[in-house]
Amino acid sequence: MASDEGVPSGVDLVDVLRAVADPIRLRIVQTLADGRPHGKCGAHWDFGVHKSTMTHHFRILREAGMTRTIVTGRTHSIQLCRDELDARFPGLIEALTVDCRARSVGTTG
Amino acid sequence: MASDEGVPSGVDLVDVLRAVADPIRLRIVQTLADGRPHGKCGAHWDFGVHKSTMTHHFRILREAGMTRTIVTGRTHSIQLCRDELDARFPGLIEALTVDCRARSVGTTG
DNA sequence: GCGATGGTATGACGAACATCCAACGGTAGG
DNA sequence: CCTACCGTTGGATGTTCGTCATACCATCGC
C-alpha cells in the first residue's frame, strides 16, 4: 500500500463508494453535504439503530477519508471533507445529493 | 422479480452505489461509460478472476439496473444504460469516470 | 467524589458477498 | 451428430458487513 504517486492519494474512489453504499451512511453524507459540522447525537440521526452502530458508520465514513471529527468537550461533531472530496472526485458529492435535492424541490410550494 | 419494467424507477441509488463499490465492477462501469456495447469476453476484462466470477459481477450490475445484455448468437454484449442513469442520477456516471478520464488527459497529447 | 451524559471499544452473530470449481445449455462449424 | 466455444447455474467456502449488547472512558454538573 501507501503508493503515493503524483496523484493526491489517501482516498480511494472504491473506498468512498463502499462507504456511501449503505442507506444510513448515504443519508449521513447527504445531511453533511452542506459542509457544516453536525453533532453525532443530533436528531437527524434517528435511524432506529443502536448507538454503537452509529459509531460504526461514522467510523467507516471517517476511515474512507470522507469526514473529520471535531471533539468539543464530551460532544463530537462530524464534518464532511467537501473541499478535498470535490477536488479529488469532482461532482461525486453533488451527484450523491442531487437525489435528496430533487425531493426537496417539488414537495414545497 | 418484475424485471420487465423497462422504467428505471425501480433503480435505487444505494443499489447503484453498492454495485460500483467494487474494484472490478467500477472498472467495468468506467469501461462501459462510453455507452457502447462491449463483449463479455473482451480483452478489457482481464481481472484475473474466474469466468463465473465475471458472470456474477455482470449480474450485480444488471440487477442494479445499470446495464443491459444483448445476446447475439452465442456471444453476449453488455451495455451501460447511460441515458437512464444520467436521467435518474445526473452527474453520477461522470463522477465515476472522471477518475480514469484524468489519467487519459495529460498522458496523451 | 458521585451520578448523568456522550461516545468508543470489544465480542458475538447472522446475512451478504466474492471467489472458485464443476456441470450444464445454447450456438457455430465440420 | 459430435466437437468446440461462450456464457450461465449451483454448490461450497472463507471473508466482510451491519447489528446489537455490554463494558469502558471522558466530560459535565452538583
- Cβ of B21 within 8 Å of Cβ of A23? The answer is no
Q: What domains appear along chain A, each with residue ranges and CATH number?
A: 13-100 (1.10.10.10)
In chain B, which residues have their Cβ closer than 8 Å to the Cβ of A97? none
Taking CA atoms, A13 is separated from A86, B41, B71, in Å, by 12, 26, 32
Residue predicted with more confidence, A42 or B87: B87
pLDDT tens by residue, A45-86: 989 999 999 999 999 999 999 999 999 999 999 999 999 999
In chain A, which residues have their Cβ closer than 8 Å to the Cβ of B98? 89-91
Torsion of CA B18, B23, B28, B30, to 10 degrees: 90
| pLDDT for B1 beyond 50 | no
Sort strands B67-72 and A75-80 into parallel, antiparallel or unpaired.
Answer: unpaired
Name the pLDDT band for B109 (thresholds 50, 70, 90): very low
Q: Look up residue B93 and give its three cell numbers.
A: 456516471
pLDDT tens by residue, B40-90: 987 788 899 999 999 999 999 999 999 999 999 999 999 999 999 999 999
**Residues B26-31: contacts with CB within 8 Å, 24+ apart?**
B26/A13, B26/A14, B26/A17, B26/B96, B28/B57, B28/B58, B28/B61, B28/B78, B29/B61, B29/B66, B29/B80, B29/B93, B29/B96, B29/B97, B30/B96, B30/B97, B30/B99, B30/B100
Share of chain A above pLDDT 90, in %: 73
User: Pick from A13, A92, A99: which is nearest to B13 by CB?
Assistant: A99
Q: How many CB contacts within 8 angstroms connect chain A with chain B? A: 54
